[in-house]
Amino acid sequence: MKLFLLLTLLFSIALPKEVPFTQEDRDRIIRLEEGQKYLQRQIDDLKKQIDELKKDTQRQFDELRTFLYWGFGILFGGMGILIGFVIWDRRTAVEPVARKIREIEEREEKLEKVMKKLAKKDPEIEKILKEEGIT
């Protein structure tokens, strides 16, 4: 009998007892749900801030890329203008020299014709022209 009472006592302690659901438990659950909602709102706000930062960063990169395009465009445009100016300046500097050389060559041809005509009349001039390799 003692054994029976002892076993009954142990089983009664070991068996789960139903715990009543109190107002305090209900309030705790409500506070937990409100806390979860608050945390979810903060997470959503952080997501929005991250999206805004991504957009802002992308905008800044786009502005920098545009600035670089303009900068390189101006740089290469200036270099092209400088090369064009150098070529133009060389042509304008060489043109008077080329004109003078043409005049000298024309004059030389005329003098050579005159000397050849004189050489036909004067054998000494013809001899000199042959020595110099003109005729």
pLDDT at 68 over 90: yes
- Say which range, 2-6, 14-18, 41-45, 83-87, has the weakest mean pLDDT: 14-18
Q: Considering its fold, how many domains does the chain have in total?
A: 1
Distance CA 121, CA 125 (A): 9
With respect to residue 78, please indicate whether it lies within any of the assigned structural domains.
Answer: yes
With respect to residue 47, please indicate whether it lies within any of the assigned structural domains.
Answer: yes
With respect to residue 88, please indicate whether it lies within any of the assigned structural domains.
Answer: yes
Q: How far is CA 114 from CA 13, 100, 107, 135, in A?
A: 147, 21, 11, 12
Confidence grade of residue 81 (pLDDT, cut at 50, 70, 90) = very high
Structure tokens at 70: 């303009």
Instruction: Residue 109: give the domain boundaries.
Output: 25-132
- The closest alpha carbon to 122, from 134, 114, 111, belongs to 114
Please tell me which residue, 97 or 59, carries the higher pLDDT value.
Answer: 59
With respect to residue 46, please indicate whether it lies within any of the assigned structural domains.
Answer: yes
With respect to residue 76, please indicate whether it lies within any of the assigned structural domains.
Answer: yes
**Per-residue pLDDT at 60:** 97
With respect to residue 14, please indicate whether it lies within any of the assigned structural domains.
Answer: no
pLDDT at 44 over 70: yes
With respect to residue 64, please indicate whether it lies within any of the assigned structural domains.
Answer: yes
Tokens 């003692």 -> residue = 2
With respect to residue 7, please indicate whether it lies within any of the assigned structural domains.
Answer: no
